[in-house]
């Protein structure tokens, strides 16, 4: 896949994700159970956070730096904790901002390396698609 195809796939997956979470009634956004222990709001911020991570990761790759090895479960726990302290509109705005950073970082790469491809696909459209399906299953839509 070239950069334009990746961006198109990311855009399509994001729009489907938005459609899925927009269908959740406002009073149910923080209801846990979409996945064990997580709400729709948690999943939206989770995806938004990781899109921002991809922006950082692709910028590091462009500079020839290695990506940090972290305790990803601990990072996810912190992301969810932070997101639960955010308002819905903050989550949406920051998630959109992070998504645009990821897209800009991909466009800025002179070459999409296998590592960059893996980071972008795994944390954007594949990630959105996974959680879109979970939200739709939760709402029965």
pLDDT (tens digit, 9 = 90+) per residue, 47-73? 999 999 999 999 999 999 998 888 888
pLDDT (tens digit, 9 = 90+) per residue, 29-48? 999 999 999 999 999 999 99
**What's the chain's average pLDDT?**
95
pLDDT (tens digit, 9 = 90+) per residue, 63-108? 999 988 888 889 999 999 999 999 999 999 999 999 999 999 999 9
Task: Please name every residue paired with 35 in a beta bridge, in sequence order, or none if there are none.
Answer: 38
d(C-alpha 47, C-alpha 26), whole Å? 19
Judged against a pLDDT cut of 90, whether residue 1 lies above it is answered with no
What pLDDT is stored for residue 85 in this prediction? 97
- This prediction has a pTM of 0.94
Banded model confidence at residue 26, pLDDT cuts 50, 70, 90: very high
What pLDDT is stored for residue 69 in this prediction? 86
Judged against a pLDDT cut of 90, whether residue 141 lies above it is answered with no
């Amino acid at each position: 896949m070239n950069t334009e195809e990746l961006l198109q796939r990311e855009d399509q997956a994001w729009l489907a994700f938005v459609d899925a979470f927009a269908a959740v009634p406002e009073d149910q956004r923080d209801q846990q159970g979409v996945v064990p222990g997580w709400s729709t709001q948690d999943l939206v911020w989770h995806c938004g956070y990781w899109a921002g991570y991809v922006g950082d990761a692709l910028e590091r790759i462009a500079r020839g730096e290695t990506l940090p090895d972290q305790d990803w479960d601990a990072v996810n726990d912190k992301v969810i904790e932070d997101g639960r302290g955010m308002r819905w509109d903050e989550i949406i705005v920051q998630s959109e901002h992070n998504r645009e950073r990821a897209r800009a970082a991909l466009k800025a790469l002179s070459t999409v390396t296998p590592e960059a491809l893996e980071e972008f696909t795994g944390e954007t459209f594949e990630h959105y698609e996974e959680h879109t399906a979970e939200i739709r299953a939760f709402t029965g839509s």
